[in-house]
Structure 1
Amino acid sequence: MHRVVLLYSGGLDTSVMLKWIQDEYDAEVVALCVDLGQPADDFDAVRQKALDLGAVASLVVDAKEEFARDYVAPAIKANARYQGGYPLFTALGRPLLAKLACEAAREHDADTVAHGCTGKGNDQVRIEATIATLAPDLKVIAPVREWSMGRDEEIAYAQEHGIPVTSTVERPYSIDDNLWGRSSEGGVIEDLEQPPPGDVFQLVTPPTEAPDRPEDVVLGFRDGLPVSLDGEELGLVELIRRVADAAARNGVGILDHIEDRVVGLKVRDLYEVPAAEVILTAHRELEKLVCTGRENALKPQLDALWAQLAYEGVWYEPLLADLNAFMDRVNARVEGEITMRLYKGSATAVARRSPNAIYDRSLATFNADASFAQGAAPGFIELFSLQSRTAYRIAQARERG
């Protein structure tokens, strides 16, 4: 290899490997940092740091809009929560990072892509499967899988070579964040018998410290996607940010989650997902209002399958495209407003309205109303229960011999 595109965040792993690749492979490195809405990153500093460490080029790509439009939006329509809990965000970003790395490799005449994933994680699968699909001629290296350093040794390596990093032996967490959420793992988090350490959460206010009064926000949806907040029309990126701010200050979106990785490990992750918690909950509530009972019974099963495929990173799997077609068809009716009440860690739908609601108050009311033929109920019940009653009688007869 002569030139490597390194997916570069400026954190411990990728900063160490930028230096390590140059020394180990005698190769030039193009650092590629992708802005997916990470709230705290100084991208000018990240770009300069890569150049200071010897990169022949340091690129920063603003991909927030593409990420929101092509990855987060389908996840909202699919109510995407892996294993019922984790609102996918890292999993959504990795195929996009890999796609942009392939494009950068073509543009900068690189023959190799490098990433900072470990051999124990999901991201290696997501990134490498995407590269193998889009650019099978490119080589892929994963230095963390090759070197024999743990995080403590990486920190020591960084100190020895004058590489500035923020990780310390006392606080060795692996952090990943983007517009849709933030994850923390490693260190004491791996001890399942211990509660989450207080220094982990940097995005969401602890619920015990959140305001003592609830805050209501009104989310407007069209075609299954949020388009307004409290009556103000917003683009998806800005709307997600504002919802995240409101949810975070009210302690909403902290998740202590045990999950099964693609590679077979069962792990613990701590997630901060304020916007996702509010928007996904609101979306599902509105979806239930406009869908039939049969649709509401089936769609969560397909949502779970969508989340599984996205978690695995098989973004170009035909089945995912098939599911997206179904999600688009259903969400064409998901229009209206949901009022979400945010209070000390909870996000609850407290009001709903939609022009497509399969709801008629005059039919649902317990007050007297002639529009619902209650007198037809006995005949319906007799027919509805016919097979169950027949099967029960037959079972009773068999038990009596």
Structure 2
Amino acid sequence: MWTEKCVREFDHIEAVAHNGGRVVTLFSGGLDSFYLLWRLSHHPGLEVYALSVGVGGDAEYDDSAGGVARLGARHVHAERAAVFADEFVAPAIAAQATYLGIHPVSSSLSRPLLARAAVELADEVGAEVVLHTANRSQNSLRRLNTSIAALGFDGHFGSPYELDAISRDEKQAALKKAGFPDFANRSHSGDSNLWCREFESGLLDDPEWFPVPEDVYTWTAAVPPGEQEEPEKVTIDFERGRPVALDGEPAGLRELIGALNPRVGRHGLGRYSGLEHIDSGEKVLEVREMPAACLLLHAYRQLESATVPAETMREKVSLEQSWTREAVEGRWYGSLRAAAQAFVMSVAERVTGRITYRLDRTGMTVLSLEAPDALYIRDRDAWERATARSALHFSTA
């Protein structure tokens, strides 16, 4: 008999559902989360809360068919976009969080926040079970499970898809038969937040051939034939490591990222594809568009180089990898990520200044760097004369 607290297959839900009770399930409105909700509806004694967490994505949840209510669940929307920007994206910028130099980390940042929102709702409503829909080929599986456990939730939690490998076709057929035909034409899985739009599975399964349909992209849509985007200048101000203004206008981080995504993306900047390892060591393909991230990470490093001593930066690079590894592996609430972040943010105290770019189809070109406490030399001849006189005076004293 199954007695562990980790839900890993649908039979485990059967084991915890026979006495009724309350369940919180993370709900995006995608195929996997809708299929799980449909399966939960087979247990009339369960009181199900479908939780959608707003992290600034272009579609926080899709319930155009009113399926949540039709399946007997209560929909709860928790708005966390500002929290996501301030607590998760801001330190990722300072930590230069990229996965092995291939792409900026993205969903790794949202998973601990989703887990926290789910545990908070479970505590509020007295739920004994917290579910999500990650499967064995998705890194979200370990990130969500590790975060839920680290937050001290003592009920049952996990994903029934971990051991029940139900195909997309099977899920689509079951939902169509149940009266939800809208999922039949979904050819891939997607995840979005204010920092990234990410795509995987379906037609993007095979790394040896994955022609991405152009309509997948939103922020980095291609320029129509015969048209050409004009180059533009973009100026970003940082204070103590945090972006605070765009083109001289003060802006919160959430708003600034939202404004930069289409501006940077229209120049074709910020598309990524790459392989990311899963828990068993194999690697899966993921496609992303992250134009604001592309620019802000570059801008931060440029200003950091202008204001932070070289030896400090060298030390910080190794701590950046520690921070990123802990986020990627789902150990956001662990002590090593917190310790690495403390160092990173102490260095960020020096990163204040302004950077201006020229954006066009050739890329991002830095036009100017300005920092009030800069370490750079603006006039080499004057510096050499001044330091030579100082050195001469010292040697003859």
**Aligned mates of 1:116, 1:262 — CA distance in 2:** 16
Deviation at 1:296, TM superposition (A): 2.5
Q: Which residue of 2 aligns with 1:87?
A: 104
Q: Which residue of 2 aligns with 1:201?
A: 217
Change in 2 beyond 3 A, CA 1:348/1:134: same
**Aligned mates of 1:350, 1:228 — CA distance in 2:** 17
Q: Which residue of 2 aligns with 1:237?
A: 254
Deviation at 1:197, TM superposition (A): 2.0
Cα distance per residue 1:296-316 (max 9 Å; x no partner): 222222212211111111011
Q: Which residue of 2 aligns with 1:119?
A: 136
Q: Which moved more, 1:187-196 or 1:333-342?
A: 187-196
Q: Which residue of 2 aligns with 1:14?
A: 33
Matched, 1:325 2:342: yes
Change in 2 beyond 3 A, CA 1:106/1:46: farther
Cα distance per residue 1:244-274 (max 9 Å; x no partner): 1201211111001122234312121111001
**Aligned mates of 1:195, 1:345 — CA distance in 2:** 24
Deviation at 1:125, TM superposition (A): 0.7
Q: Which amino acid aligns with 2:35?
A: V
Matched, 1:276 2:316: no
Deviation at 1:356, TM superposition (A): 1.7
Superposed, which structure 2 residues align to 1:1-400 within 5 Å? 1=16, 2-23=21-42, 27-41=46-60, 45=63, 48-55=66-73, 57-166=74-183, 168=185, 171-199=186-214, 200-206=216-222, 211-344=228-361, 346-362=363-379, 364-365=380-381, 369-373=384-388
Cα distance per residue 1:311-340 (max 9 Å; x no partner): 111011111111111111100010011112
**Aligned mates of 1:27, 1:40 — CA distance in 2:** 27
**Aligned mates of 2:189, 2:173 — CA distance in 1:** 16
**Aligned mates of 1:122, 1:47 — CA distance in 2:** 29
Change in 2 beyond 3 A, CA 1:163/1:332: same
Cα distance per residue 1:110-156 (max 9 Å; x no partner): 10001010022211111111111113412114122243421111111
Gaps in structure 2 of 5+ consecutive residues: 1-15, 393-397
TM-score, reference length from structure 1:
0.86
Q: For residue 41 of structure 2, give the secondary structure of its aligned residue in structure 1.
A: helix
Q: Which amino acid aligns with 1:196?
A: P
Q: For residue 23 of structure 1, give the secondary structure of its aligned residue in structure 2.
A: coil
Change in 2 beyond 3 A, CA 1:345/1:327: same
Q: For residue 361 of structure 1, give the secondary structure of its aligned residue in structure 2.
A: coil
Q: For residue 161 of structure 2, give the secondary structure of its aligned residue in structure 1.
A: helix
Cα distance per residue 1:220-256 (max 9 Å; x no partner): 0001010000000001111110011201211111001
Change in 2 beyond 3 A, CA 1:352/1:293: same
Q: Which amino acid aligns with 1:14?
A: S
Larger radius of gyration: 1
Q: Which moved more, 1:221-230 or 1:146-155?
A: 146-155
Q: Is the 8 A contact 2:323 2:340 kept in 1?
A: yes
Q: Which amino acid aligns with 1:201?
A: Y
**Aligned mates of 1:368, 1:360 — CA distance in 2:** 7
The structure richer in helix per residue is 1
Q: Which amino acid aligns with 1:173?
A: H
**Aligned mates of 1:162, 1:10 — CA distance in 2:** 15
Q: Which amino acid aligns with 2:68?
A: A
Aligned residue pair count = 371
Change in 2 beyond 3 A, CA 1:278/1:166: farther
Q: For residue 10 of structure 1, give the secondary structure of its aligned residue in structure 2.
A: coil
**Aligned mates of 1:226, 1:74 — CA distance in 2:** 11
Gaps in structure 1 of 5+ consecutive residues: 378-401
TM-score, reference length from structure 2:
0.87
Q: Is the 8 A contact 1:35 1:61 kept in 2?
A: yes
**Aligned mates of 2:251, 2:181 — CA distance in 1:** 38
Q: Which runs of 4+ in 1 moved over 4 A?
A: 45-48, 207-210, 374-377
Deviation at 1:182, TM superposition (A): 0.8
